[in-house]
Chains A and B, each alone.
Chain A
Amino acid sequence: MGSRFEKYAKDIVFTVDGQELRLKRVKTEKLQKLMNLTKDEENMLVNLVEYFSDIVASNYPEESREGVDAFVQSNVMTIFEEFQIAYGLIKRADLEKRKAELLEKASK
């Protein structure tokens, strides 16, 4: 009989700009690193691009690094959101609610 938690060992899969990304699960240390780098609001965008470019590049070694960097740069916030959802760190409904609240706050 398989492990009770087997389904949580599978790759994480999500779609960004019509491209399906299939990523091997990262270690908890790497997730902690993601949490830490979001503390640095000033450099967050640069840090996120670097973080996700590394992950995508290591999962797609046949793609050129320039191509991966450009793809991540263009879609970094979507990748960040979908990554968190795929890991179960946040629910899509909660994220949508927060985004709506942020938009409302910004429009005031």
Chain B
Amino acid sequence: MNKIDKFRGLLEVSIAEDTLLLNSLKVNDLFDLLLLNKTEDSFEFGVKLLYRILSKSYPDDVLGLEGFIISNYVDLLEGIMIALGWTSKKKLEDMKKEKDKPKEIKRGLEALKARAALEADTDNIEDKYITTCYVLMREFKYTRDEILNMDATVFLVLIDEMNKQAEKEKEEMAKVKKH
């Protein structure tokens, strides 16, 4: 994936020796992903959410899609979280090593539920996203629906740019103060 793909709303996720290109992830989906660890029936919610996301990117391949998601549930969530920059492969591996320490041994399904969505600092990410939404509404006059339907990658680029801008302003202010 080249640098410009970021602006075309493409998100690359590697799963089971395969690479999926998600091309229609929206801001709305980001907020639903963040909701995952606050949902009681999180597996069902997560599978349905991933189905919605993947079926938009692969509309001709829906046969077996639900089975694919169920079989690769944790890997898909982790792959998406890494692609979104919520966590890193190394961080996830470190957490898994920590969890694998045999202090409490969980059954398969229990372990599955405990992983994935819970492993990123979702509260902080959610705060950042909400703040960005408010800035976009206030400064750029976007409506709520326009933001929720915005390509997720465009939204992430905007956050990046706004952070850079804020840093730049901070540096300039520091320079002014020095003088």
Contact = CB atoms under 8 A, between A and B. Distances in A.
Interface of A: 2-10, 25, 28-29, 31-32, 34-36, 38, 81, 84, 87-90, 94-95, 98, 101-102, 104-105
Nearest to A30: B44
Given A31-B44, A88-B70, A8 B64 contact: yes
Given A31-B47, A31-B70, A98-B111, 19 more contacts: A2-B63, A3-B62, A5-B58, A5-B61, A5-B62, A5-B68, A6-B64, A8-B65, A25-B66, A28-B44, A28-B47, A28-B48, A28-B66, A31-B44, A87-B67, A87-B70, A89-B112, A90-B108, A94-B111
Contacts of B102: 101, 104-105
Interface in B58-82: 58, 60-68, 70-73
Q: Which of B58, B109, B112 has the most chain A CB atoms closer than 10 A to its own CB?
A: B109
A8 B63 CA distance: 8
B110 A38 contact: yes
Given A31-B44, A36-B41, A5 B109 contact: no
A17 to B, nearest CB: 20
Nearest to A1: B60
Interface of B: 41, 43-44, 47-48, 58, 60-68, 70-73, 102, 105-113
Contacts of A9: 63-64, 67
Nearest to B66: A28
30 contacts: A3-B60, A3-B62, A3-B63, A4-B61, A5-B61, A5-B68, A6-B64, A7-B64, A8-B68, A10-B64, A28-B66, A28-B70, A35-B113, A36-B41, A38-B107, A81-B108, A84-B109, A87-B67, A88-B70, A88-B72, A89-B73, A90-B108, A90-B112, A94-B108, A95-B108, A98-B105, A98-B107, A101-B102, A101-B105, A104-B102
Contacts of A88: 70-72
A102 B104 CA distance: 9
Is chain B's binding surface mostly helix, strand, loop or mixed?
helix
Given A29-B44, A31-B44, A32-B43, A3 B107 contact: no
A94 B107 CA distance: 10
Given A38-B109, A89-B112, A31 B43 contact: yes
Given A38-B110, A87-B70, A88-B70, A32 B65 contact: no
A87 B67 CA distance: 8
A33 to B, nearest CB: 9
B41 to A, nearest CB: 5
B23 to A, nearest CB: 14
Contact of B65 (A3, A35, A90, A101): A3
